[in-house]
């Protein structure tokens, strides 16, 4: 296993409520799976029980934040606002914490240097990245770069930009570079003055690092589940509110009345449900239903210094704001302004229906009316969801996979009636692949094409391997992950999805994807009758050569053929029969403790996927483990031998693959348990015993050679 003795995690935190503490605890627990020491740093006190969870703790009692009275000196202006009908709410930030975070990093980085650590992996407390993707995107990349950054705005870090920047809530950096960069700014004046605009943290570190190195790498990490920067301070967007996508702001009007302003959903991320919240403020103790896609304002009574506003969702406190200012100072920071002009325009009722991440209905009308809405599955005539809805609100069923929908809308206090069936003919449909795995991509793309043909629709598809697919599927428009696509009528996401408890998310899956073929995941989500379909891959290889190509590596040890002599015995046999053996795995010899077999021809590390595909297609046989290379070979109609014990034999394709598995020992854990991506040596039944990885240890070279003889027609 790779040695991480020279690595350290640094977590910057400022914990002033229970929600932030929960986020930090979840992050620490996730990082512990890497067995890398953790340093906690910040300027707010941290509970003893949290300090005991980590290896080191640094507390900066100075906390050199920039206060609002200093804003004019440094050209800082921090305000958010919302315009409701006849009301405007403005909330000003009381302080600017960029320089305080800079000093937190300075303290931490210099301490890491003192500890002799070579690689720093930095987090803000409110990140919970996918462990496998994080390890590959940051921990492994920093061994090839000096600074691995994350861009939340594409190309924002390009050196050709006038004012480049990167995200500061997650990055990895070599300690020597970090110390030089962070120590290059000596004080607050150097941090803020003579800078092109008013926010500096994201730019100062990137620009400071580039004074000492140009070896800066943009991390390939893709945030799929809103798992990064979850409690962004500026708009409180994505704040962890016990699962509720809900924004909460306080404001005071000219009569000194205190209001709570609620906004359902976050920017670009609508709420999944209505939320029943409890508001407590002095004598005000009431429940309110926050309907999806609505904004509301609640008068809590007169502002009273020394009181606190508390909000609860499902019994958990999601807001606790202490009123420590005099009313006039609080009002200057948080204003509710009434407009004297109120224009009402009479418009006819309008019904908006789409199927973007589930069926959506919106009813727009100027008069107050109520409607009953039913979302019906036409295949079995069952009502999947129904509710009563007031106009100027919207409703959405939680099931996001394809269903043959019938939507019925019936007026309650009016005679309106509408039935609408899903019909995607000639409409644009966006299908997103949520996995970066090349094997998943190859397994799923045939069903996107089948969906296009069956539904007679226009498909836009995002994958991480568009260059491999675009020429073979000319009727599909391929776009990169994260691309904004307009004028779509439906959206479906293909992947394996879990809820917060790491259980299968059945709002996105018809059946348990762990207990069916990988290819069937896509057909289920897209509502297709299942049949195994091979993809169309580009033909880049020429005539067959006396070559056998192999793939020996995977993304976890359970995926390997753990027979210690197996690969070498197979290679020796092929060499003796006059075959050149091409090793296609990109990992270096000794990767995570796994040696490459000798007497093979290794593909260059920088080989493109097209170059690898060419070798596969010119080979007479491919032998590998359950990885993307095996799917490439299968998709290219190449004779394929698959060695795997951790997946059941129904997981991979049945046609065109000779599968080798030993059912006489423990096997198929992948299909029975929730995989822990942070544990490289994951073996749920026998880890730490002599039976660890017996599923593949007990597959012999003789079994593999027998299949080789059959495939190559060797007597």
Per the structure, the complete domain to which residue 203 belongs is given by: 7-68+94-218
CA nearest to 571, candidates 667, 707, 437, 705: 705
Q: What is the DSSP-derived secondary structure letter of residue 136? A: I
- Distance in angstroms (rounded) separating the CA atoms of residues 666 and 645: 8
Cα dihedral 390→395→397→401 (10° resolution) = 160
665 and 565 in a single domain? The answer is: yes
Joined tokens for residue 603 = 């593909």
Q: Which stretch, 151-160, 213-222, 372-381, has highest mean pLDDT?
A: 372-381
Are 515 and 574 contained in the same domain? no
Mean pLDDT, residues 647-658:
87
Window from 63-72, 294-303, 657-666, 683-692 with minimum mean pLDDT: 63-72
The pLDDT value recorded for residue 296 is: 87
Same-domain pairing of 252 and 170 = no
Q: 308 and 205: one domain?
A: no
Rounded mean pLDDT of 346-353? 69
At 268-311, the pLDDT tens digits run 568 888 999 999 999 999 999 998 888 888 999 999 999 999 99
> Which element (helix H / strand E) includes 253?
none
In a domain, 142, yes or no: yes
CATH of the domain at 280: 2.60.40
Asked if the structure places residue 240 within a domain, the reply is: no
Q: For 62-73, what is each residue's pLDDT tens digit? A: 777 777 767 766
DSSP single-letter state for residue 177: H
Assess whether 490 and 603 both reside in one domain: no
CA 34 and chain centroid, separation: 19
Domain final position from 165, 200, 218: 218
Sorted by sequence, the CB contacts under 8 Å of residue 244 that are 6+ apart come out as 271, 275, 277, 313, 318
Domain termination site, one of 291, 316, 338: 338
Positive or negative: CA dihedral 14, 18, 24, 25: positive
Is the residue at 89 inside a domain?
no
Q: Are residues 311 and 176 in the same domain?
A: no
**Based on the structure, what is the number of domains in the chain?**
5
CATH at residue 123: 3.90.550.10
Residues 397 and 302 in one domain: no
Decide if 568 is inside a domain: yes
Please indicate, yes or no, whether residues 63 and 149 belong to a single structural domain of this protein.
yes
- CA–CA gap between residue 426 and residue 476 (Å, rounded): 13
Flag whether 531 is in a domain: no
Please report which confidence band the pLDDT of residue 477 belongs to, taking 50, 70 and 90 as the band edges. very high
DSSP E strand stretches across 330-369: 334-338, 350-356, 360-364
At residue 187 the predicted structure's pLDDT band, cuts being 50, 70 and 90, is confident
In a shared domain, residues 416 and 437: no
Asked whether the CA dihedral 432, 435, 441, 446 is positive or negative, the reply is negative
In a domain, 14, yes or no: yes
For residues 662 and 236, the model is more confident at 662
The CATH number that applies at residue 592 is: 3.40.50.2000
Residue 340 pLDDT level (bands cut at 50, 70, 90) = low
Q: Would you say residue 225 lies in a domain?
A: no
Same domain as 475, residue 449: yes
Mean pLDDT (whole number) for 414-424: 89
Would you say residue 504 has pLDDT above 50?
Answer: yes
Do 468 and 558 belong together in one domain? no
Is 324 in the same domain as 365?
no
Cβ proximity of 68 and 37 under 8 Å: no
pLDDT for residue 339 is more than 70: no
Residue 533 lies in a domain: no
Q: Decide if 440 is catalytic.
A: yes
Catalytic residue among 23, 146, 440, 524: 440
Domain boundary, last residue among 421, 448, 467 = 421
List of residues 6+ apart from 669 with CB closer than 8 A = 558, 646, 683, 684, 685, 695
């Amino acid at each position: 296993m790779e040695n991480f003795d020279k690595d350290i995690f640094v977590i910057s935190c400022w914990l002033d409520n229970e929600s932030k503490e929960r986020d930090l605890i979840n992050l620490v627990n996730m990082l512990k799976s890497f067995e890398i020491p953790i340093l906690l740093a910040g300027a707010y006190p941290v509970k003893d029980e949290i300090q005991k969870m980590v290896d080191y703790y640094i507390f900066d009692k100075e906390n050199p934040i920039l206060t609002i009275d200093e804003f004019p000196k440094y050209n800082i202006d921090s305000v958010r606002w919302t315009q409701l009908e006849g009301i405007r709410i403005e909330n000003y930030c009381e302080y600017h914490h960029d320089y305080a975070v800079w000093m937190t990093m300075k303290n931490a980085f210099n301490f890491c240097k003192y500890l002799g650590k070579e690689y720093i992996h930095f987090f803000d407390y409110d990140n919970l990245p996918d462990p496998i993707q994080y390890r590959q995107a940051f921990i492994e990349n920093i061994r090839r770069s000096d600074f691995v950054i994350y861009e939340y705005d594409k190309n924002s870090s390009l050196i050709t930009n006038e004012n480049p920047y990167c995200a500061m809530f997650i990055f990895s950096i070599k300690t020597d570079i970090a110390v030089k960069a962070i120590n290059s700014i000596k004080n607050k004046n150097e941090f803020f003055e003579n800078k092109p605009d008013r926010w500096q943290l994201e730019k100062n570190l990137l620009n400071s690092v580039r004074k000492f190195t140009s070896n800066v790498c943009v991390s390939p990490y893709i945030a799929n589940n809103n798992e990064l920067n979850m409690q962004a301070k500026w708009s409180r967007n994505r704040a962890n509110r016990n699962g509720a996508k809900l924004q909460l702001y306080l404001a005071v009007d000219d009569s000194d009345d205190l209001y709570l302003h609620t906004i359902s959903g976050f920017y670009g991320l609508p709420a999944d449900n209505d939320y029943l919240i409890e508001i407590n403020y002095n004598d005000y103790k009431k429940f309110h239903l926050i309907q999806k896609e609505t904004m509301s304002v609640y008068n809590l009574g007169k502002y009273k210094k020394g009181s606190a506003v508390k909000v609860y969702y499902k019994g958990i406190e999601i807001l606790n704001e202490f009123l420590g200012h005099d009313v006039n100072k609080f009002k200057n920071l948080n204003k509710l302004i009434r407009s004297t002009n109120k224009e009402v325009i009479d418009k006819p009722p309008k019904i908006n229906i789409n199927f973007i991440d589930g069926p959506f209905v919106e009813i727009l009308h100027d008069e107050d009316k109520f409607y009953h809405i039913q979302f019906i599955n036409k295949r079995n005539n069952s009502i999947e969801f129904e509710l009563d809805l007031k106009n100027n609100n919207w409703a959405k069923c939680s099931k996001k996979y394809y269903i043959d929908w019938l939507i019925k809308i019936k007026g309650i206090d009016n005679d309106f009636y509408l039935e609408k069936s899903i019909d995607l003919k000639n409409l644009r449909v966006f299908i997103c692949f949520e996995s970066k795995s090349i094997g998943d991509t190859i397994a799923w793309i045939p069903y996107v094409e089948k969906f296009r043909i069956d539904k007679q629709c226009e498909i836009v598809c995002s994958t991480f391997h568009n260059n491999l697919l675009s020429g073979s599927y000319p009727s599909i428009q391929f776009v990169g992950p994260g691309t904004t696509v307009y004028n779509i009528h439906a959206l479906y996401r293909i992947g394996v999805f879990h809820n917060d408890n790491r259980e299968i998310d059945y709002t996105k899956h018809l059946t348990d994807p762990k207990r069916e073929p990988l290819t069937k995941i896509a057909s289920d989500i897209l509502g297709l009758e299942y049949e195994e379909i091979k993809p169309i891959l580009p033909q880049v290889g020429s005539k067959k050569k006396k070559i056998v190509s192999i793939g020996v590596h995977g993304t976890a040890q359970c995926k390997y053929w753990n027979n210690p002599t197996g690969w070498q015995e197979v290679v020796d046999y092929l060499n003796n029969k006059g075959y050149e053996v091409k090793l296609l795995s990109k990992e270096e010899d000794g990767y995570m403790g796994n040696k490459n077999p000798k007497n093979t021809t290794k593909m260059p590390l920088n080989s493109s996927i097209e170059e690898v595909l060419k070798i596969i297609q010119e080979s007479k046989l491919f032998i590998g483990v359950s990885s993307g290379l095996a799917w490439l070979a299968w998709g290219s109609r190449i004779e394929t031998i698959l060695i795997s014990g951790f997946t059941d034999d129904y997981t991979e394709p049945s046609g065109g693959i000779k599968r080798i598995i030993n059912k006489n020992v423990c096997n198929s854990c992948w299909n029975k348990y929730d995989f822990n991506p942070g544990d490289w040596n994951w073996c749920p039944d026998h880890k730490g015993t002599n039976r660890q990885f017996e599923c593949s240890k007990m597959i012999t070279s003789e079994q593999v050679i027998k299949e080789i003889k059959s495939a190559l027609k060797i007597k």
